[in-house]
């Protein structure tokens, strides 16, 4: 019988790595991302890991480690303006087959665009499963890389985001040059216009 899944926790905390605040990075022995969240939301991250792999210490363990260079370099590049730098990072998740289907669809949303929960449900061939898609989106354990921040309400309104709506607005602004940069003390993202990101379905 195999033991618990051994996971490593590191932090990206320089302004170059994460201008929105420190990021908690959870990886496995192969260097795959298992979870990624803002450090002030680490309790949520642990809750999701337990839902996916069982109780901590039984289904999984978490030890302090070093962030893989490929992940650190990708985030530095992404926040410096290379908006496709995160696309190739390997991820591995637990969750249900339906959740993994939704999370895979999130990675197909083109950078610089947004989509709605309804469009995301239609894109995976389940147009009636809008609520379930929303719940799966909210249970995404790998923020930013699996870009749940690109999903907005049907009217274009920014809906809830685990890291906070202001961070969601900043990320969308960073990825969409015409999006107005958020205020309230957060670092200014590129762009000064007021145009809202166009809404598209994944891959569209």
Positions marked catalytic: 148
Buried b (16+ CB within 10 A) or exposed e, 45-61: bbebbbebbeeeeebbe
Neighbours of 111 (CB within 10 A): 15
In contact, 12 and 72? CB cutoff 8 Å = yes
Of 162, 171, 170, 169, nearest to 135 by C-alpha is 162
| Residue where the block lists tokens 């995404």 | 140
| Residue where the block lists tokens 């969308």 | 172
In contact, 10 and 27? CB cutoff 8 Å = yes
C-alpha Rg value of the chain to the nearest Å: 17
**8-state DSSP, 41:** G
Extract the tokens encoding 49: 């890991």
Extract the tokens encoding 14: 């320089």
């Amino acid at each position: 019988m195999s033991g618990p899944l051994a996971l490593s926790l590191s932090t990206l905390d320089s302004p170059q790595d994460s201008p929105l605040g420190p990021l908690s990075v959870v990886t496995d022995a192969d260097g795959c991302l298992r979870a990624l969240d803002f450090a002030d939301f680490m309790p949520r991250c642990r809750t999701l890991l337990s839902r996916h792999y069982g109780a901590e210490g039984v289904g999984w363990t978490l030890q302090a480690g070093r962030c893989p260079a490929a992940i650190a370099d990708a985030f530095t590049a992404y926040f410096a303006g290379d908006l496709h730098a995160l696309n190739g990072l390997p991820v591995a998740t637990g969750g249900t087959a339906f959740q993994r289907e939704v999370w895979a669809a999130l990675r197909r949303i083109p950078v610089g665009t947004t989509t709605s929960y309804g469009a995301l449900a239609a894109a995976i061939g389940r147009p009636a499963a809008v609520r379930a898609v929303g719940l799966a989106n909210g249970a995404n354990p790998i923020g930013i890389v699996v870009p749940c921040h690109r999903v907005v309400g049907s009217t274009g309104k920014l809906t809830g985001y685990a890291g906070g709506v202001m961070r969601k607005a900043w990320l969308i602004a960073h990825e969409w040059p015409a999006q107005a940069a958020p205020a309230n003390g957060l670092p200014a993202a590129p762009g000064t216009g007021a145009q809202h990101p166009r809404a598209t379905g994944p891959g569209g």
